[in-house]
Structures are given as C-alpha cells and as structure tokens.
Amino acid sequence: MSNKQKIPTDGSSGLGQNPFAALSSAGLPAGRPSATDTSNIQAGSAGRSSEPRQEKNRGRVEVRRETGGRSGKTVTVVDGFVGIGLPEKEQLTKKMRGACGCGGTVKEGAIEIQGDQRETVARILREAGFRPVFAGG
C-alpha cells in the first residue's frame, strides 16, 4: 500500500485545472435579465403581475354529482379534460381538496372530490382557465 500517492488536503495545491475556465458565452442566446439589471425592462411590463398568464379557454369540462356505486355517498366528478396530463390533474385535485376541506383523487382520468362541492370546484376550474359545465343532477 505504500505505492499509492497521497493527495494533500491542506489546500495549498489545487487539484488541477478548473474545467469551466475555458468556457465562454460566445454564440449562446441572451439569458433572462438578472434582478439587478433594469436596462432591459420595458416600460409597459412594469405594471403587470408576476403570475404566469393562464390561457383564456383551455376547454370544456363536465362537473357532475354522483352517488351510484358508493353506498349512497355523494362525490363530485370532473371529467372531459383534453390536453392535460396526470401531473396537472393531480395538482388541480390538491388545490380542490384544500379549498373544499375534504378528500379527493384522480381515477381513470377524472377528478373525484368527496361531497357535493360543485360550486367550489367550478370556481377553481374557472381560475385555471377551464370552462366548467354542470352536467346531470
């Protein structure tokens, strides 16, 4: 074991060259301005909120109340989503559960919220840019 060279850890000699020293930003697109750089900010964008803009109409979704097959318990079902994936449905479900104060899940592409929560669910869907339509009873 005496043939191994030991690397000094006292910090006096570097471990080699910096691999990023030769990199340059020539030929790369300009990035976002930093928080301190105000020269690129347009006058019209100063009054806008920092929230991302939602699309005006992301599609029609059905909001209905169901009791069948659930031992008489009522659930609110949101169905008919087009163009959104499971992660976004789960995010919407989490927001609905928090606003309604009840449980909920995503089953077979539909969001199920416990109880008759149609008005609250519709409000959250409108805020997210969807067009909720009440279906059924």
Reduce the DSSP state of residue 86 to 3 states and report it: helix
pLDDT band, residue 100 (cuts 50/70/90): very high
What tokens appear for 113 in the block?
């919220």
Mean pLDDT of the residues in the chain: 80
pLDDT reading at 37 higher than 90: no
Q: What is the DSSP letter of 7?
A: P
Tens-place pLDDT, residues 51-97: 555 456 788 999 999 998 889 899 999 999 988 899 999 999 999 99
Tens-place pLDDT, residues 2-29: 677 876 666 555 556 777 777 777 777 7
Over range 33-49, report the average pLDDT: 53
pTM value is 0.58
Give residue 29's pLDDT. Answer: 78
Tens-place pLDDT, residues 109-127: 999 999 999 999 999 999 9
Report the top-level CATH class of 61-134.
alpha beta
Domain ranges of the chain: 61-134
| Three-state secondary structure of 100-135 | HCCCEEEECCEEEEECCCHHHHHHHHHHCCCEEEEC
